[in-house]
Amino acid sequence: MTELSSHTEKLAKIRESIGQVVVGQENLVDRLLLAMLCNGHVLLEGVPGVAKTLTVNTLAKAVHATFSRIQFTPDLLPGDLTGTLIYDPRTHEFTPEKGPIFANLLLADEINRAPAKVQSALLEAMQEKQVTLGKETFPLPKPFLVLATQNPVEQEGTYQLPEAQVDRFMFKLKVGYPPMEEELIVMQRMARAQPLLEIAAIMTLEELMEMRAALEKIFIDEKVERYILRLVDASRYPENYGLELGRYLRFGASPRASIFLSLAARGQAMMKGRDYATPQDVKDVAHDILRHRLAISYRAEAEGMTSDDILDQILSKVPVTV
């Protein structure tokens, strides 16, 4: 068995194992695995009760990772997240007390309920993979992923996430209600005194880091890279591609979008057992990577147009080859 097929088989086993606990949500599970491969953070948007927390917790168990869940609230302090310095009166010294952020997988539940100071503390951790307590800087464990949830319906007591922070999330995933047949299975499985919530670890963190190293060997042709650049450029200058979208966009995707599209396309290829990325791999991940990077105008909102609608037009109009 080749190294690539071994990694692909391992990822398939994790997907199958999570499916023993989480019914449906295949796209969510695939994107979380892809985010782990590409070392990217994920923003989950969905109504309560659609298994967002359960899926993340189950994924942590499947890869034998440490897991922390923090319920974000308006009165949360940065120290509640990162930890603080504790004064010892016997030695007259301050010792660091590390917070729940020191975990491989951090679930930030209802992230948009926390104030700006907490968001800025999380921003350092997401970008620099480190936390500063007093004068000391502590590296976060490897891997370190933030999986944040927000409720699209509830707006009372919430804060708008800074655009710089939203841009640091590799994916923004929309999690909807399950189909009725899947919900029937959920009801039958979970409406018990002791529902099945435990799974065995399928993969170690060392194996995950090996997969990340193998991802570097996935080939992406320059033509595919140029296609990625055209997609991103079309979100900034749509008129150059015959798209009448200028009035619907305040600004387009950042250079991070190009980087993440390239990474995710190669990760998608690995999950499918290929050692090369195709334009279709780019298209498969484009919505999840770009939807939160397009700032739509008030006119677009008034006309009921979403960033996904805009992306549909961009993907249909921008040529794969020139």
Tens digits of residue pLDDT in 125-183 = 888 888 888 788 889 998 899 998 887 665 655 667 777 778 889 999 988 787 888 88
Whether residue 139 has a cis bond before it, omega within 30° of 0: no
Domain assignment present for 301 = yes
Domain end (from 204, 228, 257): 204
Report the pLDDT value the prediction gives residue 203, as an integer from 0 to 100. Answer: 84
- Please report the pLDDT score of residue 195 as a whole number: 59
Does 91 have pLDDT greater than 90? Answer: no
Task: Name the residue with higher pLDDT: 167 or 190.
Answer: 167
The domain in which residue 199 lies consists of 3-76+103-204
In a domain, 184, yes or no: yes
Q: What mean pLDDT comes out for the span 195-203?
A: 71
Residue 170 lies in a domain: yes
**How buried is residue 213: exposed, middle or buried, by Cβ count under 10 Å (0-12/13-18/19+)?**
exposed
Among the ranges given (56-60, 126-130, 192-196, 318-322), the one the predictor scored with the smallest mean pLDDT: 192-196
In a domain, 85, yes or no: no
* Crossing angle between the packed helical segments 222-236 and 307-317, to the nearest 10 degrees: 130
The answer on 58 and 155 residing in a single domain is yes
pLDDT confidence of residue 239: 92
pLDDT at 78 over 70: yes
DSSP at 273: T
**pLDDT value for 97:** 85
- Average pLDDT across the chain, whole number: 86
Tokens of 31: 């994107």
For residue range 255-295, what is the model confidence (pLDDT) as tens digits? 999 999 999 999 999 999 999 999 999 999 999 999 999 98
Given pLDDT bands bounded at 50, 70 and 90, which one contains residue 315? very high
Looking at the structure, tell me whether residues 159 and 55 fall in a common domain. Answer: yes
Say what the pTM is.
0.87
For residue 200, what pLDDT is reported? 76
**CATH number of the domain enclosing 246:** 1.10.8.80
Asked if pLDDT for residue 216 goes beyond 60, the answer is yes
| pLDDT band for position 63 (cuts 50, 70, 90) | confident
What CATH number is attached to the domain comprising 144?
3.40.50.300
CB 290 within 8 A of CB 172: no
| Domain count across the chain | 2
Residues 190 and 231 in one domain: no
- With CA atoms as reference, report the closest residue to 81 among 99, 106, 57, 60: 99
Instruction: Give 282-315 as a 3 state SS string.
Output: HHHHHHHHHCCCCEECHHHHHCCCCHHHHHHHHH
Predicted pLDDT of residue 274: 92
pLDDT at position 15 is: 85
Amino acid found at 185: I
Burial of 249 (0-12, 13-18, 19+ CB in 10 A): buried
Q: What is the pLDDT of residue 150?
A: 83
**Residue 262 tokens, joined:** 């390239």
pLDDT in the model for residue 182: 81
Q: What percent of the chain has pLDDT over 70?
A: 94
Residues 31 and 56 in one domain: yes
Q: What average pLDDT score do residues 120-126 get?
A: 85
Do 168 and 29 share a structural domain? yes
Evaluate if residue 194 carries a pLDDT over 70.
no
Q: What percent of the chain has pLDDT over 90?
A: 30
Tell me the C-alpha distance between 129 and 283, whole Å: 29
Domain contains 36:
yes
